Amino acid sequence: MTRSESLFQRAKEIIPGGVNSPVRAFKSVGGTPPFIASGKGAWLTDVDGGHYIDYVGSWGPMIVGHAHPAVVAAIQEAAGKGSSFGAPTEAEVQLAEAIIACLPSMEMVRLVNSGTEATMSALRLARAASGRPCIVKFSGCYHGHSDSLLVEAGSGAATFGVPSSPGVSQATAQDTLTLPYNDLPAVEALLAARGAEIAALIVEPVAGNMGCVLPVPGYLSGLRRLCDQYGVLLIFDEVMTGFRVALGGAQALYEVRPDLTTLGKVIGGGLPVGAYGGSKALMQQISPAGPVYQAGTLSGNPLATAAGLATLAIIRQPDFYPTLERRTQRLTQGISRALSQAGIPHLGNHVGSMFGLFFSDQAQIVNFAEAAQSDLQRFNRWFHGMLQEGIYLAPSQFEAGFLSLAHDDTLIDRTIEAAQTVAKQL
């Protein structure tokens, strides 16, 4: 028995499913997850001494690579001065200023501890500001595990939501309406019928939780137009895409300005963090400036802000994003070529340093229903084959992958060679 297998057995006795976040358990792909001992640059090392080129990157935040010297030094310096005070610090102000400088839609920002906290708080603010009860989300878009967002649609274009997790009350679920992603006519029909009840529409501008699905041309600008028409607040959940697909996030890339934005991952440099923000008129309704309550003892803590500031300093270098874009394109084209040569039907997407791969013969995939038709068994074989070749991919067909600055051309070519080997076995 390997050390990972032994640890997993121990963990399942004391931690639900043996993990502290469900996808880590490998349930969708089978097998035992490697327990990670360390990471450096683009590499992970497990407790059994296995080495992997990492394309998960802690699900997005490790954009400069694991244990980057500048980030490590910043965390060490901050830790030496104290890890938490429950009081204001200069670093909180500096991180807020750095975020606002890159995202013009955010005139004010509140730091929190996670992406879930950010989206939950943004929706509370939207309901308070509008005086309306309902929100609209899109099937396949994940916005954290707060009750009102663990909801899926019934049959038809949109219905009252029903809970998709036990413990979510019907009363909570019924205020969440779900529509298919990339379907602008469905949004228009719903807002025409019930716009006066809807406080906000929340969307991943690039969907990263159904396997990297891009917005079709005109979709995001169409959402902006419809929200303006019906007085609905538009919330971009950029927890994944913020500072990942571009310095100014997806809103800069697609030139669409949301009313509220939620952030996480990259802005903490690998430490727990989240943020939400928008216009001063909206954000000044947050306590203590206004009546909408939200608080957190560890919000803006010195370690997270230090890691975030160090990371943002690196990614603001002029050639950072063009380099990542070029390398991501090199990777995705190489993998696609390997699969095509082996006669494997597939479809790949990428934007910035975020990518996805579907084993499907469809011409395009634009929503979760289409993504769900992919060949999951083939994906599982692909995943385990690549893992055996030392390539660590997300253990789910419905998760995006990520590159970091540490993924140089040599590592990308090594990954493509692994893909050529595995493709012949599929």
Residue 137 is among the residues annotated as catalytic for this protein: no
The residue from 46, 54, 183, 237 that is catalytic is 237
HEC per residue, 28-77: CCCCCCCCEEEEEECEEEECCCCEEEECCHHHCCCCCCECCHHHHHHHHH
* Domains of the chain (ranges, CATH numbers): 3-67+319-423 (3.90.1150.10), 71-315 (3.40.640.10)
The catalytic residue among 265, 321, 375, 392 is: 265
From residue 136, alpha-carbon distances to 193, 248, 275, 410 in Å are: 13, 24, 21, 44
Instruction: Identify the pLDDT of residue 165.
Output: 66
CB–CB of 240/400 below 8 Å? Answer: yes
**8 A C-beta contact, residue 58 and residue 270:** yes
The full length of the chain comes to: 426
Residue 381, amino acid? R
Mark whether 228 is an active-site residue: no
Per DSSP, the three-state class of 146 is: coil
**Per-residue confidence of the chain (426 residues) as pLDDT tens digits?**
999 999 999 999 999 999 999 899 998 899 999 999 999 999 999 999 999 999 999 999 999 999 999 999 999 999 999 999 999 999 999 999 999 999 999 999 999 999 999 999 999 999 999 999 999 999 989 898 877 776 653 323 333 444 566 777 776 778 899 999 999 999 999 999 999 999 999 999 999 999 999 999 999 999 999 999 999 999 999 999 999 999 999 999 999 999 999 999 999 999 999 999 999 999 999 999 999 999 999 999 999 999 999 999 999 999 999 999 999 999 999 999 999 999 999 999 999 999 999 999 998 999 999 999 999 999 999 999 999 999 999 999 999 999 999 999 999 999 999 999 999 999
Q: What's the alpha-carbon Rg for the chain, to the nearest Å? A: 21
Q: Which pLDDT belongs to residue 144?
A: 86
With the C-alpha atoms ordered 35, 144, 325, 359, is the resulting torsion angle positive or negative? Answer: positive
pLDDT of residue 314: 98
How many angstroms separate the CA atoms of 263 and 273, rounded?
Answer: 8
What does pTM read for this prediction? 0.95
- The active-site residue, picked from 52, 55, 142, 181, is 142
Q: Is the dihedral of CA 140, 360, 223, 261 positive or negative?
A: positive
Instruction: Supply the pLDDT for residue 166.
Output: 74
DSSP structure string for 320-375: HHHHHHHHHHHHHHHHHHHHHHTT---EEEEETTEEEEE----S---SHHHHTTS-
Alpha-carbon distances, residue 318 vs 307, 314, 322, 325 (angstroms):
20, 10, 8, 13
Q: What is the largest CA-CA distance in the chain?
A: 61
